[in-house]
Structure 1
Amino acid sequence: MNQPSVVVVGSGLAGYTVVRELRKLDAAVPITLLSADHGSFYSKPMLSNALATGKTPDSILSAGTMQMSGQLDITVRPYTSVNAIDVAAGSVSFEEGGQLTYDRLVLALGADPIRLPIPGEGVDEILSVNNLDDYRKFREALESKRHIAILGAGLIGCEFANDLAAKGYQVSVFDLSPQPLGRLLPPEAGRFFRDKLTAAGVNFLLGTTVERVSKENGYYQLFYEGGKVVQADMILSAVGLRPRTRLAAVAGIQVNRGIAVNRYLQTSIQNIYALGDCAEVEGKVLPFILPIAHAGRALAATIAGNPTLLHYPAMPVMVKTPACPTVVSPPDPAVQGEWEVVAIENGMKALYHDEAGNLHGFALLGTATVERNTLASRLPPVLA
């Protein structure tokens, strides 16, 4: 009798994490990992600070496809794009032709960069960095460039801005929010963060948005505020990610903001699971590293025959901006409370307390980041 097979769609951190954890628990189960790209393994978070750390696209790569296949004793199929799931037949089909059956299917599809609907010439040349291939194009395009415009002052936009400024590039960052890291920091902390990155060479254009782009003589003109203009050599978009849900939705799997899963990472179809940036767990879409690690371990145990509820502890996020070291643990939006902000020498500490005085979130900047572990131990779990 053949052993039930596991098929994983996606070769990012989520896909490889669940495979690694499953292989620790079951040395024999047949596993096939399907990758739309080269299928090699690398640390995606390294992309936004690789310039300052001296990393090239090649040096970011940790292990090639053959190496991952051998290490984990799995079949890796690179450049294999899944275009349909047949839930009744228990199979996936490929754009390149052919299909593959599964007993259990894991969707680790990731997310796509959000693109702003900006009119004008040259908008199709706006770059986004969502994987190593994107980053390779970004680095190649940087050659001989001087002024980089970034759309988005969120976590990734600020990390790229800091990285570019540290290497001497002129950087202009646009965002509709009145402050950088608008979803993560209270206003006082946002101003502190802005001032530190401004001192490092980042020019923030906040409370505004790019209305139109034109391209003349190889330069991009970014128009904003009814006629003001910034000229740049390159434009990088970093306005957020949208979970990849279309494959699941077409197959009849329940989708909300992400692919809806329960605490066992199970979708609305019994033998299909999802984790990582594409998944929504009890209304939460958490596109960070620690949630993937916890989800990968829990799902591997479930697939191995030990149904395991996913638990999320408090998971602070480090923002890789050396000009202003920052650690954030945002409060749940449903929790009513207020921020208490304290300035300290070369730093700032912001604590979010509920109406009963319980700590539910924090933001630590500069020298205050040393309190990360102490404060994290006081936070309630994200999923108990």
Structure 2
Amino acid sequence: MQIKDVLLAPGNGGFFYDDQTAIRAGASQNGFIYLGEPKTAGFASIRVPASSLSVGLVLEDGTVVWGDMMSVQYSGAGGRDPLFETDRMADLTSRVVAPRAFDVDVSRYLAACAKVLEPFEEKRLPLALEYGVSQALLRAAAHIRRCTMAEVICAEFDLALPTRRVPIYCQSGDAREINVDKMILKAVDVLPHGLINSRQKFGPNGQTFMEFVQWVAARTREIGPSGYHPVLHFDVYGWIGMEIGLEPQRIADFVCRVADSIPAFTVNIESPADFGSTQAQIESYARIVSILNERGSKARIVVDERCNTLEDVRLFAEANAAHLVQIKTPDVGSIADTARAVLLCKQNRVGAYVGGSCTETDLSAQASVHIAVATQADMMLAKPGMGVDEGFSIVGNEQNRILALLNRARLRNEKAG
């Protein structure tokens, strides 16, 4: 089946784009906004509403399948692509992507992605554009094959139909206490993120952060349902390194103290430090991981910054430079590369976390769930937004629908065989 037309529709992301450099430099908050001048190219203010662009592929039978492109919350930081520009993405899609799309067989997903998303003028297309177009192509393949997107991925990568539910991770945003309570009451698998993105939230020598960690553990025991035992996952946005220095041994010591303060829980520490380049990040994270492993610590290091593309994921995984890799979907580019990234992590016995950003949309979140379930990732992010309820509902309900459909397909195949 061929693509007959390409539609574009501007839209909103699920949260805001934030200038991480300005926030790290000490920009203060006034209500929901940040005060001061932006420091990252493309930002007119430190916090701007997230925009998105939907791309619709009109198929021969009149069906229109959609995918959404956008940037991540901290665009232009940590080696990421710059801030999302709707007009530029629309122009590239119309001039470059659409003519290519008319010439592909959309039933062959990976081949279609390779053709439509090949470099332009010897440069890779913007990763946000790859992300949105690849979602639409995946939906097209699923429509033609009359199956789920997860089944398309399983077929293309020669994977067995999955049966295991993928644990869901929620993020709190700044409304920490209220959202932690919501997560606990809903028995979220992994929580709470915490948004520890400033010196005020981290505190001198990490004391404020340490108190928050202990409060989350105590609150989980206090109001959680019987038998509830989540993984506690905290994103510190490099503040361990910024506050106590970039010596891997000192960072590992601090992480061990965090884990030792709540011994009943497994603790994930995301982005403990930013060492300034991908290679430096790999070398230092590998050392931190090695120290924690030697000590038998229950703490796990999660990499985010400096690990963006599929090639970055490969480098970190092969170097064992993390216990868990966040595969940040809009930064990876083609959602087919998200699937490849999960499989790469598994080959190297490194945890794979299908993440993304609060700035995404319902459509991109649902497509990500199909990838996570098909590849059997270790966990996936509830997205979009920072409100807990909405993202948890979108991702959780989509996963349950997928598993019900896959179970039906499996029973049908068993009867036929």
The two structures have a TM-score, normalised by structure 2, of 0.21
Structure with the higher fraction of residues in helix conformation = 2
Q: Radius of gyration: which is bigger?
A: 1
